[in-house]
Amino acid sequence: MNESSQPSTVRAGSLYAVLAYGAWGLLPIYWKFFQQSSPVEVLCHRMIWSLVFLTGILLVQRRQPEVGVLLRSPKTWRLLLVTATLLTCNWGLYIYGVNSDRVVETSLGYFINPLVTVLLGFVFLRERLLRGQQIAVGLAAIGVGYFVWQFGAVPWIALGLAFTFAFYGLLRKVVAVAPLVGLAVETLLITPLALMAVSYWQVTGVGHFGESVGLSLLFIGAGVMTSMPLLWFNNAAKRLRLSTLGFFQYVAPSIQLMLGVFLYREPFTPTHLVTFGCIWMALAIYSATSLMQRSRSV
């Protein structure tokens, strides 16, 4: 697609991208409503209601045969089971990070993610690392190393989020499946376990679903809050070049960082500033290198 000849398409794509990444950035506000629930319970409901919402969309679009095709391919659904496990870990870790007052660290994870993705591409797909990308990955490592040195602790939430989502993206590149259908199958594969857990909690009286109308609606709404940004992202991806879409990916962690510092008053020390500064410089170098490479290939 030639973006310059389709200004209305680009505007629509940009709007969808802002909606998607803006919603992902604001998600901490939503998860904070579940302070009285365990992250695992919230995660289970997120899976269950995401499946309900996605199933409704697939029925409206009459795409349920695509799900059947995937499930009849053992190799495909086994790979999707692995990606579903990675996605479950990523979602659960994010909810835990937010509700343990570590929103700043979750934002660090999603800032690091593009650089981890480049590194995994080099290690597993033998993709060549350009000089600028090598410098960017090195700077990111220096930033994380400085954090560990100063605080004496590994930012495991940030690294966990970055690596689980990077491995998720790596494996999804291997599986030839549409994003919406793939996510529906992933939630379908995990939902039976989520249903068993929620049922057990309800029977034993430790579950929070049904405790109040407001909280129950929040649990149900987790499916909408999970699925709608994905649909907006898919619409943006159809209308924008990847180089254009790539710049929007920093909107979400930027919003998360601002929420953590200014809304939730989490500490942002000089050590945080050095660590984030290294990551931001790395992302600037990475983006500039990618743009130059694309301009040469045109």
The full DSSP string for 190-220 is HHHHHHHHHHHHHHHT---TTS-HHHHHHHH
**pLDDT score, position 298:** 57
Q: Is the pLDDT of residue 110 over 60?
A: yes
- Tokens, residue 25: 């950035």
Decide: 230 and 220 in contact? Cβ < 8 Å. Answer: no
pLDDT, tens digit, 9 for 90 and up, residues 246-288: 778 899 999 999 999 999 999 999 999 999 999 999 999 988 8
Can you say how many angstroms the Cα of residue 22 is from the centroid of all Cα atoms in its chain?
Answer: 12
Q: Is the pLDDT of residue 4 over 50?
A: no
Predicted TM-score of the model (pTM) = 0.91
The average pLDDT across 145-161 equals 94
**pLDDT score, position 289:** 85
Domain positions in the chain: 3-297
Distances 145 to 160, 261, 270, 273, 279 between C-alpha atoms, Å: 15, 22, 14, 13, 12
pLDDT, tens digit, 9 for 90 and up, residues 192-236: 999 999 999 999 999 999 889 999 999 999 999 998 998 898 788
